[in-house]
Amino acid sequence: MKYELVIFDWDGTLADSTGHIVDCIRYACEVTKEGFPGEDAARNIIGLGMHEALLQLFGDRTPEFIDTFRAAYSDHFFRAPMSRDDLFDGAIDTLQQLKDRGCRLAIATGKSRRGMDRALEQLGMGEFFIGVKCADETRSKPNPLMLQMLLEEQRVDPGQAVMIGDTEYDMEMALKIGMPRIGVNYGAHDADRLLSYRPESVISSPVELLDILG
Protein backbone atom coordinates (compact mmCIF):
# COMPACT_ATOMS: atom_id res chain seq x y z
CA MET A 1 0.00 0.00 0.00
CA LYS A 2 1.12 3.54 -0.75
CA TYR A 3 0.09 4.70 2.75
CA GLU A 4 0.11 2.90 6.08
CA LEU A 5 -2.93 4.76 7.42
CA VAL A 6 -5.93 6.07 5.46
CA ILE A 7 -8.06 8.56 7.38
CA PHE A 8 -11.57 9.38 6.18
CA ASP A 9 -13.89 12.21 6.94
CA TRP A 10 -17.46 10.94 7.39
CA ASP A 11 -20.19 13.38 6.30
CA GLY A 12 -19.93 14.15 2.59
CA THR A 13 -17.07 11.68 2.11
CA LEU A 14 -18.44 8.26 3.05
CA ALA A 15 -21.97 9.24 4.09
CA ASP A 16 -24.28 11.11 1.72
CA SER A 17 -25.57 13.23 4.59
CA THR A 18 -25.08 16.82 3.43
CA GLY A 19 -28.77 17.36 2.66
CA HIS A 20 -29.85 15.94 6.01
CA ILE A 21 -27.41 18.18 7.89
CA VAL A 22 -28.79 21.24 6.09
CA ASP A 23 -32.33 20.15 7.03
CA CYS A 24 -31.26 19.80 10.68
CA ILE A 25 -29.82 23.32 10.66
CA ARG A 26 -33.04 24.65 9.12
CA TYR A 27 -35.12 22.88 11.79
CA ALA A 28 -32.94 24.19 14.64
CA CYS A 29 -33.32 27.71 13.22
CA GLU A 30 -37.10 27.33 13.38
CA VAL A 31 -36.97 26.13 16.98
CA THR A 32 -34.69 29.00 18.07
CA LYS A 33 -36.58 31.52 15.88
CA GLU A 34 -33.34 32.32 14.11
CA GLY A 35 -33.38 33.16 10.41
CA PHE A 36 -32.08 30.31 8.27
CA PRO A 37 -28.78 31.56 6.78
CA GLY A 38 -29.33 29.79 3.46
CA GLU A 39 -28.29 26.46 2.03
CA ASP A 40 -24.89 27.65 0.80
CA ALA A 41 -23.96 28.99 4.23
CA ALA A 42 -25.21 25.80 5.89
CA ARG A 43 -23.19 23.60 3.53
CA ASN A 44 -20.13 25.74 4.10
CA ILE A 45 -19.89 24.89 7.82
CA ILE A 46 -20.23 21.13 7.35
CA GLY A 47 -17.13 19.53 8.81
CA LEU A 48 -16.72 21.97 11.68
CA GLY A 49 -17.55 21.18 15.29
CA MET A 50 -20.93 22.47 16.47
CA HIS A 51 -19.60 25.44 18.44
CA GLU A 52 -17.37 26.61 15.60
CA ALA A 53 -20.18 26.09 13.08
CA LEU A 54 -22.63 28.22 15.08
CA LEU A 55 -20.03 30.93 15.56
CA GLN A 56 -19.48 31.10 11.81
CA LEU A 57 -23.21 31.08 11.02
CA PHE A 58 -24.55 33.43 13.68
CA GLY A 59 -21.64 35.10 15.42
CA ASP A 60 -21.21 35.14 19.18
CA ARG A 61 -24.36 33.92 20.92
CA THR A 62 -25.42 33.13 24.47
CA PRO A 63 -24.81 29.71 25.99
CA GLU A 64 -28.59 29.32 26.20
CA PHE A 65 -28.96 29.82 22.44
CA ILE A 66 -26.16 27.36 21.72
CA ASP A 67 -27.66 24.72 24.02
CA THR A 68 -31.15 25.12 22.52
CA PHE A 69 -29.85 25.03 18.95
CA ARG A 70 -27.68 21.99 19.64
CA ALA A 71 -30.58 20.12 21.27
CA ALA A 72 -32.95 20.91 18.39
CA TYR A 73 -30.35 19.89 15.81
CA SER A 74 -29.67 16.61 17.61
CA ASP A 75 -33.38 15.88 18.04
CA HIS A 76 -34.01 16.24 14.32
CA PHE A 77 -30.82 14.41 13.36
CA PHE A 78 -31.52 11.35 15.49
CA ARG A 79 -35.13 10.94 14.36
CA ALA A 80 -34.11 9.20 11.15
CA PRO A 81 -32.34 5.82 11.43
CA MET A 82 -29.41 5.27 9.08
CA SER A 83 -28.95 2.48 6.58
CA ARG A 84 -26.20 1.62 4.14
CA ASP A 85 -28.31 3.29 1.46
CA ASP A 86 -27.20 6.57 3.08
CA LEU A 87 -23.61 5.89 2.02
CA PHE A 88 -22.14 6.94 -1.30
CA ASP A 89 -22.09 4.26 -3.98
CA GLY A 90 -18.98 2.16 -3.68
CA ALA A 91 -18.07 3.28 -0.17
CA ILE A 92 -18.48 -0.09 1.54
CA ASP A 93 -16.75 -2.03 -1.23
CA THR A 94 -13.86 0.43 -1.21
CA LEU A 95 -13.41 0.14 2.55
CA GLN A 96 -13.58 -3.65 2.40
CA GLN A 97 -11.00 -3.90 -0.38
CA LEU A 98 -8.63 -1.50 1.37
CA LYS A 99 -8.97 -3.48 4.59
CA ASP A 100 -8.39 -6.75 2.74
CA ARG A 101 -5.15 -5.27 1.37
CA GLY A 102 -3.97 -4.74 4.93
CA CYS A 103 -4.56 -1.01 5.05
CA ARG A 104 -5.34 0.58 8.39
CA LEU A 105 -8.45 2.78 8.19
CA ALA A 106 -9.58 5.55 10.55
CA ILE A 107 -12.10 8.38 10.80
CA ALA A 108 -11.57 12.05 11.66
CA THR A 109 -14.92 13.82 11.79
CA GLY A 110 -16.64 16.98 12.92
CA LYS A 111 -19.50 14.83 14.22
CA SER A 112 -20.10 14.34 17.91
CA ARG A 113 -19.02 11.06 19.47
CA ARG A 114 -22.67 10.20 20.07
CA GLY A 115 -23.58 10.75 16.44
CA MET A 116 -20.57 8.89 15.08
CA ASP A 117 -21.01 5.89 17.35
CA ARG A 118 -24.68 5.72 16.38
CA ALA A 119 -23.84 5.76 12.69
CA LEU A 120 -21.22 3.02 12.95
CA GLU A 121 -23.51 0.86 15.09
CA GLN A 122 -26.57 1.21 12.85
CA LEU A 123 -24.53 0.58 9.71
CA GLY A 124 -22.45 -2.24 11.16
CA MET A 125 -19.24 -0.51 10.11
CA GLY A 126 -17.22 -0.32 13.31
CA GLU A 127 -15.06 -3.26 12.26
CA PHE A 128 -13.53 -1.27 9.41
CA PHE A 129 -11.80 1.35 11.54
CA ILE A 130 -8.91 1.09 13.98
CA GLY A 131 -9.52 4.60 15.30
CA VAL A 132 -12.23 7.28 15.32
CA LYS A 133 -11.73 10.87 16.45
CA CYS A 134 -14.60 13.34 16.86
CA ALA A 135 -14.64 17.11 17.22
CA ASP A 136 -16.29 17.14 20.64
CA GLU A 137 -13.46 15.13 22.20
CA THR A 138 -10.50 16.75 20.41
CA ARG A 139 -10.59 20.06 18.52
CA SER A 140 -12.70 21.18 15.60
CA LYS A 141 -11.23 21.08 12.13
CA PRO A 142 -9.09 22.66 10.75
CA ASN A 143 -7.12 22.20 13.98
CA PRO A 144 -5.10 19.04 13.22
CA LEU A 145 -5.27 17.55 16.73
CA MET A 146 -7.49 14.63 15.73
CA LEU A 147 -5.04 13.67 12.99
CA GLN A 148 -2.08 14.01 15.33
CA MET A 149 -3.78 11.75 17.89
CA LEU A 150 -4.47 9.07 15.29
CA LEU A 151 -0.88 9.23 14.03
CA GLU A 152 0.50 8.94 17.55
CA GLU A 153 -1.75 6.02 18.46
CA GLN A 154 -0.83 4.13 15.29
CA ARG A 155 2.84 5.18 15.36
CA VAL A 156 2.70 6.46 11.80
CA ASP A 157 4.53 9.49 10.39
CA PRO A 158 2.39 12.18 8.69
CA GLY A 159 3.93 11.39 5.31
CA GLN A 160 2.84 7.74 5.59
CA ALA A 161 -0.82 8.62 6.10
CA VAL A 162 -3.42 10.30 3.91
CA MET A 163 -6.53 12.35 4.75
CA ILE A 164 -9.58 11.98 2.53
CA GLY A 165 -12.35 14.55 2.79
CA ASP A 166 -14.89 16.76 1.05
CA THR A 167 -14.17 20.13 2.69
CA GLU A 168 -11.39 22.66 2.84
CA TYR A 169 -11.25 22.01 6.59
CA ASP A 170 -10.12 18.43 5.90
CA MET A 171 -7.51 19.63 3.43
CA GLU A 172 -6.26 22.44 5.70
CA MET A 173 -5.76 20.32 8.80
CA ALA A 174 -3.77 17.75 6.83
CA LEU A 175 -1.70 20.45 5.16
CA LYS A 176 -0.82 21.94 8.55
CA ILE A 177 1.05 18.79 9.57
CA GLY A 178 2.46 17.84 6.18
CA MET A 179 0.05 14.98 5.58
CA PRO A 180 -0.91 14.02 2.02
CA ARG A 181 -4.59 14.63 1.24
CA ILE A 182 -7.20 13.60 -1.29
CA GLY A 183 -10.31 15.66 -1.90
CA VAL A 184 -13.71 14.37 -2.96
CA ASN A 185 -15.83 16.60 -5.18
CA TYR A 186 -19.23 15.06 -4.42
CA GLY A 187 -19.65 16.48 -0.90
CA ALA A 188 -20.07 19.91 0.69
CA HIS A 189 -17.28 21.94 -0.98
CA ASP A 190 -16.51 22.15 -4.68
CA ALA A 191 -13.32 20.99 -6.36
CA ASP A 192 -11.85 24.49 -6.78
CA ARG A 193 -11.87 25.05 -3.02
CA LEU A 194 -10.21 21.70 -2.41
CA LEU A 195 -7.58 22.24 -5.10
CA SER A 196 -6.37 25.41 -3.39
CA TYR A 197 -4.89 23.14 -0.68
CA ARG A 198 -2.81 21.17 -3.22
CA PRO A 199 -4.26 17.69 -2.70
CA GLU A 200 -2.71 14.64 -4.30
CA SER A 201 -5.93 14.21 -6.22
CA VAL A 202 -9.62 15.13 -6.25
CA ILE A 203 -11.92 12.18 -6.89
CA SER A 204 -15.52 11.82 -8.03
CA SER A 205 -16.26 8.44 -6.44
CA PRO A 206 -14.92 6.43 -3.49
CA VAL A 207 -13.94 3.56 -5.78
CA GLU A 208 -11.27 5.73 -7.42
CA LEU A 209 -9.26 5.36 -4.22
CA LEU A 210 -8.54 1.72 -5.04
CA ASP A 211 -6.28 2.73 -7.92
CA ILE A 212 -4.87 5.88 -6.32
CA LEU A 213 -3.85 4.18 -3.08
CA GLY A 214 -2.31 1.20 -4.84
**156 and 109 in a common domain:** yes
Residue 118 has pLDDT above 90, yes or no: yes
- Residue 117 sits in which domain range? 5-16+83-212
Whether 86 contacts 15, CB under 8 Å: yes
pLDDT (0 to 100) of residue 40: 94
**201 and 139 in a common domain:** yes
**132 and 92 in a common domain:** yes
Report the domain count for the chain. Answer: 2
**148 and 107 in a common domain:** yes
pLDDT (0 to 100) of residue 80: 82
**108 and 98 in a common domain:** yes
**129 and 141 in a common domain:** yes
* CATH number, domain with residue 188: 3.40.50.1000
Reported confidence tier of residue 1, pLDDT bands at 50, 70, 90: confident
Among 111, 144, 117, residue whose Cα is nearest residue 129: 117
H helix and E strand count, the chain: 10, 6
**124 and 65 in a common domain:** no
Rounded to a whole number of angstroms, the CA Rg of the chain reads 17
pTM comes to: 0.93
**195 and 144 in a common domain:** yes
pLDDT (0 to 100) of residue 214: 84
pLDDT (0 to 100) of residue 15: 96
* CATH number, domain with residue 65: 1.10.150
> Would you list the DSSP string of 58-71?
H-S--HHHHHHHHH
CA dihedral 125, 131, 132, 135 (to 10 degrees): -170
The pLDDT tens digits for 155-201 are 999 999 999 999 999 999 999 999 999 999 999 999 999 999 999 99
The pLDDT tens digits for 4-43 are 999 999 999 999 999 999 999 999 999 999 999 999 999 9
Residue 103 has pLDDT above 90, yes or no: yes
**22 and 10 in a common domain:** no
